[in-house]
Chains A and B, each alone.
Chain A
């Protein structure tokens, strides 16, 4: 506690508040120890570790095939990407080929998952700012995506769809038709969402110029994904370290443009997500058009034993660069598995950004960084 003593001996005292772990807008179980002077925050110390489930350690005890469902739980809002990153790492170790149709199915499933994840992100962000209706509208659209996912792989949240060598099930033609129908409907919905929330004067006033992350800070704190691009740095794993079939697809990498405030403020990060949804729709249309025929998964032995070695595979998940570092000792079980996720580094910058902002802005900041509790601790 620091006492500040202005003139005439008027003493004020800092107040220490514990935000979370049970707080309506900490998106799961985050905790911040916040020191405030009235409404103005002087310090917000993140307290991580509430959702640690030892996913990395479990990886040493199960087979490569058996570990794929566990990766779902690393980030339950974007399970497909963790599936893909781990499978890519395993394939790299063993030199397994992925079938071409399998790659397309992966990208279709991943981009649908990105839409679902971003819908949650922008919807709950609106709710954090106090707008209730956009949240429900976003969840309504996500529900349609969940239905599509159920048709594709039988699960609505933890997919276990991408397997080593391809995907678990081929996407049926009628499902493809339903995806096209959904995309036709989704484009106008994003515009409606923008009219309702993104263009709202109060919403812009709340976010413009709040919690500005400069380019240097974004790089030195190792922000990834939309948080990094919000600061105006054009870096996307899909474009810069291409994997899967992304080099064949035509898409933009949206970056923050400081359209309402300063570059790298909360609104820029939000707006990057909205535009990424539109880019995902573009990618999905192309994939549906280019989808080749053939098997969805290549022949992979049941007893999967990659040769001894190590490798790192990374994908562009909705919360940024997600990487799996897998070490093999030639046995059926991975020797070590380590996961690198975007939310963990995003948490580290909150302390720096929270100095001098208000309690309401802290909530906006957490929402704009899109930190996701399971992803922080794994």
Chain B
């Protein structure tokens, strides 16, 4: 996107207009387009999908009334929440309280600037892409702290404090895991990291060596914790803190927090895909640039959405950890492990090509064996529980 405008300015399309004005207009237009065409429906559909996936895992039906399969449920929810009364408690901080949801939302939305949906489909391929992403997602913690403090509610305050401690701590293992990839790729640019990988699984950084494989899971866990997802959803733990930092919010402001949370899931998935799973890389099947672009977009989207699904699955399965256990997990296990992964990867970079190939193949083999074992266990459980299987897609 940015490259496209640069090219247009060079060709003299906006002759006579100052560059700054062109960029400012382009920024606003891009933000609006990204927000309305992609992010809002994405977060909405993710919320619907999460409720449906949950419902199926819990032998329920889930929302199925609005639109086919209930896929427009998010629109109904959004309209309902816009029409609700916007309550600002009298005891709350009158300035910070309304501001907090937008800070959270901004932190999440800014990350879409550097997410590469295709070889040419990126808002701006910053040369510090991943660093920028880590920085803007940290804005979320400011918003959550604001919400917790400004609500003037003890539950909110506890939730905000928990969240601040959690997000700040988990940024360290997440950042260190990202560093392993940055070492391998030799660049901080998101497109550069993807170009350093290939379309085939054995060219992905995830299966580069055992340490990156480990780093991937460290990153995913830390990202879940940063996104306040189960099993690390202690800031809004509804059985302990009523609703945590969102206790006093209602209507659209409440929705903005959850908008950011569900949208964040996709950000987590796409960053994991970019860093470890080859991003939009597709096999060279066609020369048509439009077709290739669509293929890249679909590939990237599906890979990213797979990890969104995994996050939903984890949320439906696991209980919540306690706040001290959460900190212990981060500082006692994840930080040292991610350091080891980083150092190990640096060690692997000195290895010759053949040795690296062997270890990469071993890692891939281990992953495949794990997946096969998983399906064997699923089969065993099916035979043991003798569930009534049925196919009723209409409900």
Contacts and interface: CB of A to CB of B under 8 A. Distances in A.
A342 to B, nearest CB: 23
B286 interface: no
B323 A128 contact: no
B239 interface: yes
A203 interface: yes
A22 to B, nearest CB: 9
Nearest to B155: A17
A205 interface: yes
Contacts of A130: 230-231, 233, 237, 239, 318-320
A359 B242 CA distance: 12
A223 B283 CA distance: 68
Contacts of B319: 126, 129-131, 197, 200, 202-203, 206
B322 A358 contact: yes
Contacts of B230: 130
B270 to A, nearest CB: 26
Contacts of A25: 239-240
Given A132-B54, A363-B239, A202 B318 contact: yes
Interface in B307-342: 315-325
Interface in B219-243: 230-231, 233-234, 237-242
B152 to A, nearest CB: 13
B32 interface: no
Given A358-B322, A359-B158, A133 B240 contact: no
Contacts of A173: none
Given A360-B323, A363-B240, A132 B316 contact: yes
A205 B242 contact: no
Given A192-B385, A205-B325, A358-B322, A128 B239 contact: yes
A136 B321 contact: no
Interface string B51-63: 0001001111000
A307 interface: no
Contacts of B15: none
A60 B78 CA distance: 55
**Best-surrounded residue of A126, A127, A200, A359 (most CB of chain B within 10 A):** A359
Contacts of B318: 130-131, 200, 202
Contacts of A127: 239
Size bracket, chain A contacts: 35 or more
A137 B58 contact: yes
Contacts of B80: none
A196 interface: yes
B379 to A, nearest CB: 15
Contact of B240 (A136, A196, A359): A359
A360 B59 contact: no
Contacts of B241: 359
A24 B238 contact: yes
A136 B154 contact: no
B216 to A, nearest CB: 21
A126 B385 CA distance: 21
A358 B325 CA distance: 11
B163 to A, nearest CB: 13
B11 to A, nearest CB: 56
A140 interface: yes
Interface of B: 54, 57-60, 154-155, 158, 161-162, 230-231, 233-234, 237-242, 315-325, 381, 384-386
3 residue pairs, one from A and one from B, having the closest CB atoms: A130-B320, A136-B58, A131-B319
Given A133-B58, A188-B386, 19 more contacts: A17-B155, A25-B239, A39-B162, A39-B323, A130-B233, A130-B319, A131-B317, A131-B320, A133-B317, A136-B58, A140-B59, A189-B385, A195-B381, A202-B320, A203-B319, A206-B319, A360-B240, A360-B322, A361-B322
22 contacts: A17-B155, A24-B242, A39-B323, A129-B239, A129-B319, A130-B233, A130-B319, A131-B319, A137-B58, A140-B59, A189-B385, A191-B384, A195-B381, A200-B319, A202-B318, A202-B320, A205-B322, A206-B320, A206-B321, A358-B323, A360-B323, A363-B240
